[in-house]
Amino acid sequence: MNESKLYQLPGLPYQYDEFVPILSKEQLQIHHEKHHMAYVNGANAILEKMDAAHKNNEKLDLKALLKDLSFQIGGHLMHSLFWRNITPPSKAKERPDGLIMEKIIAEFGSFERFKELFQQTAMSVEGSGWAALTYCLQTQRPILMQVEKHNIHVYPMFRILMVVDVFEHAYYIDYKNNRATFLDSFWKIVNWDEVNHRLENLLK
């Protein structure tokens, strides 16, 4: 099969050790090379199985297969977003500026209120999943979203501006099972320039 038709693990715009002491080199490397790669491999294996079935006109259990494909692709795409909306602490800003800050203030009243609600969103995800800052083009509003696993409770057509991974694999090596402490540290590595860039491109 042509590899261009398969998913690939994206490279990172930084080195694994650049996030110390917020995230250790081991934590970031295992998260990227093992966990993210597992979703890439999982999605590709399903695509290859479907291609083979199409070629041989074989039956497929589509209910189970498409649910699994959704999970694997969701894991790949959510992680791809995550890597780009974090940056080494030496380069991170404490607060956003530009259009994203204007939208946050208009919706939530203050940046502090937004942080509080985003943190609550992430803390209250049941089991494994994600918290996301999204943008609704119909209402022109930023809206918080929980994503359980990778593929449940997603708002169709909402554009994702920023995510945080609250699967334990994202923080367990450094923070054990203390999700709250990990989320407190997350604000020290947010790439607000990237988040603002996503919003600006969306509203062009």
The domain ranges of the chain are 23-204
3-state secondary structure of 6: coil
Residues of the chain with pLDDT under 70: 1-4
How would you classify the pairing of strands 141-148 and 129-136?
antiparallel
Q: Say what the pTM is.
A: 0.94
Residue pair 78/150 in contact (Cβ under 8 Å)? The answer is yes
Handedness of CA 12, 14, 16, 22 (dihedral sign): negative
One DSSP character per residue, 103-152 reads HHHHHHSSHHHHHHHHHHHHHT--SSEEEEEEEETTTTEEEEEEEETTTB
The pLDDT score that the predictor gives to residue 200 is 98
Q: Which helix (H) or strand (E) holds 172?
A: helix 172-175
CATH of the domain spanning 23-204, picked from 3.55.40.20, 3.40.50.2000, 3.40.50.970, 3.40.640.10: 3.55.40.20
Q: Using CA atoms, how far apart are residues 73 and 100, in angstroms rounded to an integer?
A: 27
The pLDDT score that the predictor gives to residue 1 is 46
Q: Using CA atoms, how far apart are residues 77 and 163, in angstroms rounded to an integer?
A: 11
Neighbours of 62 (CB within 10 A): 11
Q: Using CA atoms, how far apart are residues 123 and 118, in angstroms rounded to an integer?
A: 9
